[in-house]
Amino acid sequence: MEDRIRNSENGTEGADAEKRLKCEWCGEALPEDELLKEADLGRVCRRCADALRSRGERLVIEDE
Ligand SMILES: [Zn+2]
């Protein structure tokens, strides 16, 4: 009913096609392939990974 209409308005495009996961660092929800799996931090987005690297942090990316 009304809820269904509201849901389809809120739904992001292609929401069912890709699952979104949260970056452990900034909390932003991103498609899984935008996130890197870091050994200690968990999933972090590329932006956070770059920021951490530029601060001199050593990241251990498991799937890069
Ligand atoms: Zn992030």
**Domains held by the chain: number:** 1
Domain extent at residue 17? 2-54
Which pLDDT tens digit goes with each residue over 16-27? 567 899 999 999
How many A from CA of 25 to the centre of ligand 1? Answer: 5
Task: Please check whether residue 33 is in contact with residue 17, taking contact to mean a CB–CB distance below 8 angstroms.
Answer: no
What is the secondary structure of 8-63 as a DSSP string? HHHSPTTTTTS-EEE-TTT--EEEGGGEEEETTTEEEEHHHHHHHHHTTPPP-BTT
pTM of the predicted protein model = 0.66
- CA–centroid distance, 26 to ligand 1, in Å, is 4
| Residue 28 maps to a domain | yes
How many angstroms separate the alpha carbon of residue 18 from the centre of ligand 1? 18
Residue at 63 is within a domain: no
The predicted structure's pLDDT at residue 4: 61
* Dist. CA 27 → ligand 1 center (Å): 6
Per-residue confidence band for 63, with pLDDT thresholds at 50, 70 and 90? confident
Mean pLDDT over the full length of the chain: 83
